[in-house]
Every structure is written in structure tokens, then in C-alpha cells.
Structure 1
């Protein structure tokens, strides 16, 4: 996918950048088949008026302003009403790096400076990193004013699109908070401390997807599917006993690592 070009602006400074998606889809995807003959299920776009099958080139955007009455808006017309400010990422203000709840982050991009913007880009990154701040900005993507968080990292800058406050659901289910004893709290802290290691994303992998790939290979080869064995872990009902057992296991795992 082609990089999205933009400009970060704050004060009189303008930094030309390109934005590349920071994640990729590695999931196994299945097709829908007709169970009688295993043929692919196809979906067709048809006109509700004449029943004719429609291609992508035949489709335009329409807004229904009254029952069955539409006004057609073209992509060119949508672009025309954007101001230069709306085409750039305008920094509105700065905030503490840990001040934003993760629930507000939507999609993350890697930002890279375009030729001529390297010095200003590095100045913004190092200043944000030094102050442990992020920048909150805004730009228009498609037909929507989009909030963005500009996040400094040692290796560069990440830009995350953000949800607006009215797009975030309130916590629906509250709970009555029971009393926690000092002994239980201390034991929980001990467990956290015993499992405290630096985050290394390369250590984690989607193990279920691996088993799913194995399942597919087994099915292709015509072999029988064998159910996974239970790990046989016994449930500990008493909270303190569970915490103690967890601490011992964490210590044992750390020693054997």
C-alpha cells in the first residue's frame, strides 16, 4: 500500500512526512463455500431499480436528503472544500505521554520525514522524547476531521488516529469493590514484581494460529484430527494460596529461563 503524504505543522514549522501502516494482517482467512459442492460463495452488487450487476466504476457516493432522494457528491468535490490547514496534521497542543487512555487509540502509522524535513522531524522527535510528551493533532482523512496522537519513540515517530470522546462507550458494568487485606495486596505486589521483565514483542507469537495452520495441513493430507490434551492445571479456590502458588511458579520460570 502506498504511503500517505502529509505535513505536520506547529507554530510556523512545517514538516513534510510520509505515513506507512505500522501493522499487518497475518491471520488465516477462510472463504465461504456451498456445503453441497464446496464451491465459492460470490456476492454481487446490483442496482435496486433495474437489477443490473454493477462494477466499482459504476458506483458514486450519494447522500439521502429525503426519502429515495439523493444528491451525488464526487471525491473531487470533497477534496475541493479542504483547506491547506485541513490537508496537514495541525498540532493543537502537547500532553503527558502517559496521560492518554489506550482506548482512544485507533490505527497506528509509522511516520518518516520526506526529503528536506529530516532536521525538523528529528527536532520534534527528540524534544517530545526529552519532555516525555506527545502531540495531539488534527487533520481531515476522507470525510472526517480526525484526531491524531504524535508519539515519539527512540527509533522514530508513531502517529495514531484517535476516537472522539463521544465515540467511546462508558463502562457499562460497575462492580462493588470488596475489601482487600494488606497481606493479599503485598502478595499480589510480590507476584507482579516476580513477573516484571522488559517488554520484548519478539517473544510473543500467535500460538493458536500456528495450531490452526497445523490443522489445515492435517486436513490437506487427509489425516485424523486429534483433540488437544488438557494441561491438567488444578483450580486453587483460596486467593492467598493461588497467589503463593503463582509467585513460586513465576520464580521457577524465571530461574529456568
Structure 2
């Protein structure tokens, strides 16, 4: 697995060299865009707006438009010059409870692995965070911006999640009426929740629609006809309490307790 980045976690006067690996991967089926008339692949070309010449990756530089059609070019070397050692490392700012942070702030997750010489300090930080049931909030420079990070201890290592800043999170677009549920409705909802309460085991879930999509593609490639999915049966339940009771009864059936793929 390729290393995404190498950096240092700064914890007081302790420096822990780490390598970051992406913790997720894309398993989705992807489609190409084709010309409707002849099914030929659509290609995108980068061209110069001045001379019309097609441009390759080696001919492209980074520019900032400070006035209409006036740019200043900034190179990677110049960006590195203005970075301090502090900017290049992950500075732990403070510690917090994991449940204090809304999931909306998390962006991308990496697995952190200690580099040679940093194993003991890495394990010390991991053990301390686990024992105190805390996570660390840190900051570093990634690309051309400060990046907020959450360092999350796990039994088998540590995860580092990049985070959004508060001004990058949108406000709730529209408020809504909040009717007060009755005590009977609330109790029935709790009963339903408790009847479906089982430990989260991610290996038991899979992308079922991607399986259907792959079957569709294989059917198309074989030149066979696509058969429509069988319609699902829905109960004609309108009353909320009736719907909750029906849901609880459904969970009592052996077949309903089988976990469905995500």
C-alpha cells in the first residue's frame, strides 16, 4: 500500500514520526461518457485560451488571478519556502471527547503508522488516549491550507481524520415544525430500537446495488434482455402508532432479524 504522506505528530516536546495511509478505497463500478450516435469515448482536452494549443501536465503551472486576466505564478518550491517545521508537522492543540464532535466535521480518514524510532512514543500516546477515552485535535498544512485533524486511538493503531473548519459547515437550510410525540409513541419507538439493537459488524454489510449493477452489465454484455425487479410489498399503514407496532412485530419474525446489506 502506497504512503499518502509522511509527517510528525508533535505532542508537547515529543515528536512522533508517522506515515499516513488512506483508510478507504473506491470499489464502485464507474461508467465512461460516450457519444450517443456511435458509442465512441468522449475525451477532454486542456487547451490554452490564448493560442489554442493543447497543453500537457508538464506545461501547467499554478496561478492566482489578482486582477482581471492578470496572474501571479506560485511554484511548489515557493510554497515550501514559506512553510515552517511547525506547518509541516501535526501539532496537537488540545484533547476532547469523541462524542463531542459532530460527524459532519469529518472529511477523510487515514491510518497512522509509526516510523522507525517512533514506535514507543506512538504507543504511549495511543495508550494514554485509550485510557482517558479522549481524542487529540491537531492542525497541519496540507497543500495550500491549514487542515484540522482528529487523532483517534484504536485497539490496533490510530486513525487520523481530516476535518472541516466551522465556517465550512453549512447551516441547516430550513427549519421544520417539531411535533411533541406522545409517551406511548415514544415507548413504542424505544421498543423498536431495542429490538433492533445489535453490535455493529461492518463485515456483515455489502453494497447490494453494485452486485445488481454488475449482473445488469453481464446480462447486457451477453446480449440478454433486462428483467424488471419484482415490486416490493408495502403495508397500507398510515397511523404512526400502528406503523410502530407493525415494525416491532416484524422484528419478532426470524426472517426479519437477518441483517440486510447496506
Classify the TM-score, shorter chain: over 0.9
Unmatched 5+ stretches in structure 2: none
Task: State the SS of the aligned residue for 1:18.
Answer: strand
- Residue 126 (structure 1) shift: 1.1
Q: State the partner residue of 2:129.
A: 128
> Given that residues 250 and 256 in structure 2 are in contact (C-alpha distance below 8 angstroms), is that contact kept between their aligned partners in structure 1?
no
Q: State the partner residue of 1:199.
A: 200
- The one-character-per-residue Cα deviations of 1:63-112 (angstroms, maximum 9, x if unpaired) are 11111111110011101110000100000000011100000000000111
> Given that residues 136 and 152 in structure 2 are in contact (C-alpha distance below 8 angstroms), is that contact kept between their aligned partners in structure 1?
yes
- 1:143-154 equivalent positions in 2, closer than 5 A: 143-154=144-155
Unmatched 5+ stretches in structure 1: none
- The one-character-per-residue Cα deviations of 1:4-61 (angstroms, maximum 9, x if unpaired) are 1010001101110000000000111000111111110000000000000000000000
- The one-character-per-residue Cα deviations of 1:166-207 (angstroms, maximum 9, x if unpaired) are 000011111111121111100000000000000000111111
> Given that residues 98 and 135 in structure 2 are in contact (C-alpha distance below 8 angstroms), is that contact kept between their aligned partners in structure 1?
yes
C-alpha separation between the residues in 2 aligned to 1:256 and 1:187? 18
Q: State the partner residue of 1:180.
A: 181
> Given that residues 3 and 19 in structure 2 are in contact (C-alpha distance below 8 angstroms), is that contact kept between their aligned partners in structure 1?
no
Q: TM-score when scaled to structure 1?
A: 0.97
- 1:154-169 equivalent positions in 2, closer than 5 A: 154-169=155-170
What's the RMSD between the two structures over aligned residues?
1.2
Q: State the partner residue of 1:217.
A: 218
Deviating beyond 3 angstroms after TM superposition, the runs of 4 or more aligned structure 1 residues are 253-257
Q: State the partner residue of 1:43.
A: 44
> Given that residues 64 and 72 in structure 2 are in contact (C-alpha distance below 8 angstroms), is that contact kept between their aligned partners in structure 1?
yes
- 1:101-112 equivalent positions in 2, closer than 5 A: 101-112=102-113
- 1:5-24 equivalent positions in 2, closer than 5 A: 5-24=6-25
Task: State the SS of the aligned residue for 1:185.
Answer: helix
- The one-character-per-residue Cα deviations of 1:131-181 (angstroms, maximum 9, x if unpaired) are 111100000000000000001111110100000000000111111111211
- Residue 241 (structure 1) shift: 1.1
The verdict on how the C-alpha distance between 1:88 and 1:223 changes in structure 2, with shifts beyond 3 A counting, is same
The verdict on how the C-alpha distance between 1:54 and 1:236 changes in structure 2, with shifts beyond 3 A counting, is same
Q: TM-score when scaled to structure 2?
A: 0.96
Question: For this pair of structures, how many residues does the alignment match?
Answer: 257
